[in-house]
Amino acid sequence: MMQHRPDLDSRARVEQFVDAFYGHVLNDTRLAPLFLDVAAIDLQVHLPHIKDYWSKLLLGERAYQRHTMNIHRHLHGKQRLTGADFAQWLALFNATLDQHFSGENTEKARRIAATIAANMRDRLAEMPE
């Protein structure tokens, strides 16, 4: 029997998703060094921003007002982000969804993440070396 998985339909569930996703990212041999060493993120600062970002995209909240592309351009300038980096990010994102969530907003998150990964990969690839 398949266990019922909740949808990403509340701030609390979006926060659960982000925490679970970052648990995977920060244990990933490809992505953890990008987040921890290159970007040197402070999780106490970064995770609330990411929770605001996904709450904006999925729930219409308005707390997130940053420009994500500029943040990633800066990171890309320190260490080039590759197609494989974005593919791994997306694979972990989808695996986290598959493991914990299902429903309309979950599928919306999956579509948005695929678009974000492709757009960011393509736009950063256009930057000069």
- Which residues are annotated as part of the binding site? 49, 72
For 42, other C-beta atoms within 10 Å of its C-beta total: 8
Q: In 3D, which of 114, 117, 126 has the Cα closest to residue 31?
A: 117
Contact 103, 10 (CB under 8 A): no
Distance CA 127, CA 80 (A): 10
Give me the sign of the Cα torsion angle 76, 86, 117, 112. Answer: negative
Could you tell me which residues are annotated as the binding site for heme? 49, 72
Assigned token pair, 59: 């729930």
